[in-house]
């Protein structure tokens, strides 16, 4: 009937809209899309047709086309909140954070009182690790609805991510006045105490969160991390049930899979432990692929060549002079899980040193430089480096967190191993410490943890082995060029003879020996990495040689390492 009406009167837009909707309801999505497009050919700015077209495109698995239709709808019907809400949901589901940033920016510009708009903008910044901007956007949420415990807890989580721990405590204290029995409140309090080293209190809060909300996936994950896999039968059953539940969000299932694997590893059920890690990595790899984050061997392989070309001769740079009050950066680099957190903890136990964790600024600068080299050539990258050196140094120093008056700040971003040439130019006064550990143990440790987006190799044993080989070639390049400026800390030597190795480390950094540095596990400081519990224990070789338990499962890693020319020394040998 609707088809006949549209055929008789093609200009009847209401009937055309009803036809497209009827086809959508009947599940005939391609015909529905065609009907809405036909309508839009006559009236390109019909807001309802654009919204319904977007809905149909999304159902057919074409989020790009859906978001394009919604962008037009936002222009012609900016007052329609549904247009913005659907766009946010689609962008988040597609993990398109650039598009979410655009949507959030436009939504808050048109509707400055929209709480959902500011939340979307905050999340877009958060997903790209721009924590300061995320907090600034979320401050508008709190201003629009003060006293809302859900929003206060959300603000606390952002503050924790930005290492603003006292601010997080203040938010949570305020939230507790309105929702004292909230599972989310207990969970976030657990996270805060976990990171600041109050481990017993953190465990109590995680258990309270689970009691208040049975099936609280992330609370189980954090409890497992805190307990280093030492979970009871009931807890393991709960985690297994959540992990195998397809209705649980894939992000949570990934974390649950790694937690389950650690718990089974603790019980020496090695086959099932590795199976859980395999499944978690498979899910995580799929999620990363949706964001276009994949290991690109050709691009990774090309980096040593580009770096060798850019840093093959000395370069005269004159970075802008500092005020003299900025702390000296100390860079701790290497593969992840090679001991970077342990070395940072040793240094940060010194009264003159602040441990800042894994800072993103130098990584961002490095990526900009490498993008220029890949797209425009080495000479263009060198021109950029000469022009921007002073600005980059200033940008890095300005972004350092408050160090409480410390004269040195440790940046333990492992990926900065690629940037040693850049560090030598921008920060010639900075010590560089390279941590090294047995490759098989490093590979296993990477594979059994959920890594950030900066490590697309982490989901595959072969990719980990390949990346390790490229990492080794880059380090050989730097050591041949700047050998005396790079201090190597071997993980095995450090745990077997900490007195000697720590003394050498402090001397290299021009720091006087202090007793606290030789007992870093006793230092009370925030630690926001996988090793946060481990480094609060006395130095030990207990975690070395773990890969030997999984020799058969790790064969793809071993083969990739051998192919890359990596010598497979053992931590336990």
Tens digits of per-residue pLDDT, 343-376?
Answer: 999 999 999 999 988 888 999 899 999 999 999 9
* Whole-number average pLDDT of the chain: 90
Q: Is the pLDDT of residue 243 over 70?
A: yes
Q: Provide the pLDDT for residue 494.
A: 94
Q: Is the pLDDT of residue 321 over 60?
A: no
Q: Please, are residues 474 and 486 in contact by the beta-carbon 8 Å criterion?
A: no
Choice among 191-205, 260-274, 390-404 with the minimum mean pLDDT: 390-404
Choice among 43-57, 457-471, 502-516 with the minimum mean pLDDT: 43-57
Q: Provide the pLDDT for residue 571.
A: 47
- 143-194: pLDDT as tens digits: 999 999 999 999 999 998 887 899 999 999 999 999 999 999 999 999 999 9
- 478-526: pLDDT as tens digits: 999 999 999 999 999 999 999 999 999 999 999 999 999 999 887 766 6
Q: Provide the pLDDT for residue 17.
A: 84
3-state secondary structure of 32: helix
3-state secondary structure 539-567: CCCCCCCHHHHHCCCCHHHHHHHHHCCCC
315 alpha carbon, distance to own chain's centre: 33
Where do the structural domains in the chain lie, given as residue ranges? Answer: 297-313+326-563
Q: Provide the pLDDT for residue 530.
A: 45
Binned at pLDDT 50, 70 and 90, residue 412 comes out as very high
Q: Is the pLDDT of residue 559 over 60?
A: yes
| Section 19-40 average pLDDT | 85
Task: Look at 93 and 267; give whichever has higher pLDDT.
Answer: 267
| Section 21-38 average pLDDT | 86
Q: Is the pLDDT of residue 77 over 90?
A: no
Distances (CA, A) of 288 to 95, 150, 291, 458: 9, 28, 5, 11
Nearest C-alpha neighbor of 133 from the set 146, 120, 151: 120
Q: Is the pLDDT of residue 62 over 90?
A: no
Choice among 5-19, 40-54, 149-163, 238-252 with the minimum mean pLDDT: 5-19
Residue 545: φ, ψ to 5°: 70, 15
What number of other Cβ atoms are within 10 A of residue 312's Cβ? 12
- Relative to beta strand 353-355, strand 328-334 is unpaired
| Section 329-341 average pLDDT | 94
Q: Provide the pLDDT for residue 573.
A: 39
Give the whole-angstrom CA distance, residue 459 versus residue 294: 9
Q: Is the pLDDT of residue 572 over 50?
A: no
Task: Look at 546 and 442; give whichever has higher pLDDT.
Answer: 442
Q: Provide the pLDDT for residue 272.
A: 97
Q: Work out whether the CA dihedral 142, 144, 147, 150 comes out positive or negative.
A: negative
Q: Provide the pLDDT for residue 353.
A: 96
Protein fold of 297-313+326-563: Rossmann fold (3.40.50)
**Run of H or E including 3:** helix 2-8
Q: Provide the pLDDT for residue 569.
A: 67
Give the whole-angstrom CA distance, residue 174 versus residue 213: 21
Give the whole-angstrom CA distance, residue 536 versus residue 525: 10
Percent of the chain with pLDDT over 90: 65
Task: Look at 38 and 151; give whichever has higher pLDDT.
Answer: 151
Q: Is the pLDDT of residue 232 over 90?
A: yes
Q: Provide the pLDDT for residue 317.
A: 60
Q: Provide the pLDDT for residue 388.
A: 94
Choice among 21-35, 201-215, 349-363, 416-430 with the minimum mean pLDDT: 21-35
Residues with Cβ within 8 Å of 136's Cβ and at least 6 positions away in sequence, in order, are none
Choice among 8-12, 69-73, 485-489, 498-502 with the minimum mean pLDDT: 8-12
Q: Provide the pLDDT for residue 293.
A: 85
């Amino acid at each position: 009937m609707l088809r006949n009406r549209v055929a008789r009167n093609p200009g009847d837009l209401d009937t055309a809209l009803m036809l497209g909707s009827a086809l959508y309801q009947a599940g005939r999505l391609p015909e529905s899309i065609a009907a809405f497009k036909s309508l839009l050919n006559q009236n390109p700015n019909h807001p309802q047709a654009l919204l319904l077209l977007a809905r149909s495109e999304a159902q057919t698995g074409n989020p790009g086309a859906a978001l394009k239709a919604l962008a037009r709808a936002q222009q012609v019907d900016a007052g329609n909140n549904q247009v913005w809400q659907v766009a946010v949901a689609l962008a988040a589901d597609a993990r398109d954070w650039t598009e979410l940033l655009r949507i959030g920016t436009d939504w808050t510009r048109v509707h400055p009182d929209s709480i959902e708009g500011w939340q979307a903008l905050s999340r877009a910044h958060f997903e790209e690790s721009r924590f300061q901007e995320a907090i600034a956007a979320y401050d508008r949420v709190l201003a629009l609805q003060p006293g809302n415990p859900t929003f206060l807890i959300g603000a606390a989580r952002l503050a924790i991510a930005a290492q603003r721990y006292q601010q997080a405590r203040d938010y949570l204290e305020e939230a507790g006045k309105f929702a004292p029995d909230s599972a989310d409140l207990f969970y976030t309090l657990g996270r805060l105490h976990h990171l600041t080293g109050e481990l017993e209190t953190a465990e109590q809060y995680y258990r309270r969160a689970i009691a208040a909300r049975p099936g609280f996936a992330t609370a189980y994950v954090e409890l497992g991390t805190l307990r280093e896999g030492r979970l009871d039968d009931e807890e393991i059953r709960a985690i297994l049930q959540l992990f195998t539940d397809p209705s649980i969000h894939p992000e949570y299932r990934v974390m649950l899979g790694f937690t389950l694997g650690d718990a089974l590893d603790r019980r020496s059920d090695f086959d099932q432990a590795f199976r859980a890690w395999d499944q978690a990595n498979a899910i995580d790899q799929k999620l990363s692929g949706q964001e276009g984050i994949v290991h690109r061997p050709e691009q990774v392989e090309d980096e040593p060549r580009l770096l060798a070309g850019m840093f093959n001769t000395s370069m005269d740079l004159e970075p802008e002079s500092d005020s003299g009050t900025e702390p000296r950066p100390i860079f701790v680099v290497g593969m992840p899980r090679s001991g970077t957190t342990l070395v940072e903890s040793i240094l940060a136990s010194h009264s003159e040193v602040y441990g800042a964790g894994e800072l993103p600024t130098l990584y961002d600068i490095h990526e900009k430089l490498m993008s220029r080299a890949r797209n425009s050539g080495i000479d263009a990258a060198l021109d950029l480096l000469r022009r921007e050196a002073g600005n980059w140094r200033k940008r890095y120093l300005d972004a350092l967190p408050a160090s409480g008056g410390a004269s040195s700040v440790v940046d333990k971003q492992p990926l900065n191993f690629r940037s040693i040439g850049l560090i030598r130019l921008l920060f010639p006064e900075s010590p560089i410490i390279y941590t090294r550990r047995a490759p098989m143990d490093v590979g296993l440790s990477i594979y059994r943890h959920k890594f950030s987006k900066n490590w697309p190799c982490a989901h595959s044993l072969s990719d980990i082995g390949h990346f390790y080989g490229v990492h080794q070639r880059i380090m050989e390049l730097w050591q041949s060029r700047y050998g005396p400026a790079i201090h190597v800390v071997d993980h095995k030597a450090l745990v077997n003879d900490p007195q000697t190795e720590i003394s050498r480390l402090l001397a290299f950094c021009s720091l006087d020996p202090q007793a606290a540095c030789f007992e870093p596990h006793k230092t009370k400081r925030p630690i926001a990495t996988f090793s946060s519990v481990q480094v609060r224990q006395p130095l030990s070789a207990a975690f070395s040689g773990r890969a030997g338990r999984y020799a058969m499962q790790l064969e793809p890693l071993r083969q990739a390492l051998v192919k890359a020319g990596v010598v497979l020394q053992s931590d336990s040998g």
